[in-house]
Every structure is written in structure tokens, then in C-alpha cells.
Amino acid sequence: MTTQENDILIECPKEYLLKLLTGKWKPCIFRYATQGPVRFGQMVKLLPEATRQGLTNALRELEESDILERRVIKLKPLHVEYHLTELGLEFIPIFKAIEALNLLPVRKNQPLHS
């Protein structure tokens, strides 16, 4: 834990939770995880712009925040599944609230001819 998170903790105890879900790949992974258990290689395929390292980091952080649980499945080619925890389930309404917004993420600096 860093000073940064500590500061937010003091000022905005609840908003601190937001930090647990932010980062370049965490929101994407989280959303996939709400559909069912996800696997590393699956994420590599579904998020082709992400690097292995980036996904590993995101998965580790979600695991450390107790949002995902890592389960090794001792089967034929050896699997590892990440499941939403009870805590993880509690974050779903936040994403529901985001999805309820009927806004398109309009970007201000769009290229004129795209």
C-alpha cells in the first residue's frame, strides 16, 4: 500500500474503493469476471492490446484486493481460474450504475476526419 491510497482513505473512505477497480485492464477483467470465471489465456485472447505482464499485474492486484480468487484446477492441461469473491460481487452495482448512464463517451479531441 502506498501513501497515495492512504491519503484517499483519509479524505474519502468510500471513494477509496474506486481505486481498487482502476487501472488500464482491471475494469475490463472485472467485467468479464462478472460473467463467470476467467482464465489468464482467455484474457490474453480477449484483450489483444494487453501484454501478459499487464494482465498478470491486473489479476494480482484484483486478487490482493480480495475481489478475485485464484483457483488452480488440476485438470488435463492445468488450468487457473479467477472467480469473483463475495467482496467482488459487491462491486457489481457500481458497474450497473455506470452502465445505466446513457452517455456515449464523447471525446473532445476527436480527429476531424475519422
Residues within the interface to a second copy (CB under 8 A):
1, 4-5, 7-19, 21-22, 24, 27-28, 31, 47, 49, 64, 66, 87, 90-91, 93-101, 103-105, 107-109
Distance (Å, rounded) from C-alpha 86 to C-alpha 60?
17
For the chain, first and last CA: distance in Å?
42
SS3 at position 39 = strand
Site for DNA in 44-103 (CB under 7 A): 49-54, 56-57, 59-60, 70, 74, 76-80
Does residue number 108 form part of the binding site for DNA (CB under 7 A)? no
Query: Phi/psi at 34 (nearest 5 deg)?
Result: -70, -15
- Contacted by 114, from DNA, a second copy, none: CB < 5 to 8 Å by type: none
